[in-house]
């Protein structure tokens, strides 16, 4: 099941694993319970893969990774 990013107006960004059919529905903020819209309209990440990549050797990049990646951080995703 893919993970989607949402943005609560009060608490900030969070991610939720949801069925694709529910991706555009408002999602309850885990902190305050407010109905929150999706934060990004991008390819969802699947468990165990880097965002946008299904390569067997793919890994998540952080700002200090050193592999030459830009270290782009998506809303609600860990570094």
pLDDT tens by residue, 47-60: 655 544 444 444 55
DSSP output for 51-67: TT---TT-----TT--S
More confident residue, 67 or 30: 30
Q: DSSP character for 20? A: G
CB 75 within 8 A of CB 5: yes
User: In the predicted model, what is the mean pLDDT of residues 58-64?
Assistant: 53
When pLDDT is cut at 50, 70 and 90, the band that residue 74 belongs to is low
In the chain, count H helices and then E strands.
0, 4
| Mean pLDDT of the residues in the chain | 74
| Distance (Å, whole) CA 34 – CA 13 | 12
């Amino acid at each position: 099941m893919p993970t989607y990013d949402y943005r609560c107006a009060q608490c900030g960004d969070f991610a939720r694993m949801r069925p694709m059919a529910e991706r555009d529905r408002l999602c309850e903020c885990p902190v305050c319970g407010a109905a929150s819209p999706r934060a990004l309209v991008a390819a969802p990440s699947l468990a165990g893969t880097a965002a946008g990549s299904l390569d067997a050797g793919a890994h998540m990049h952080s700002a200090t990774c050193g592999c030459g990646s830009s270290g782009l951080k998506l809303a609600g995703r860990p570094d």
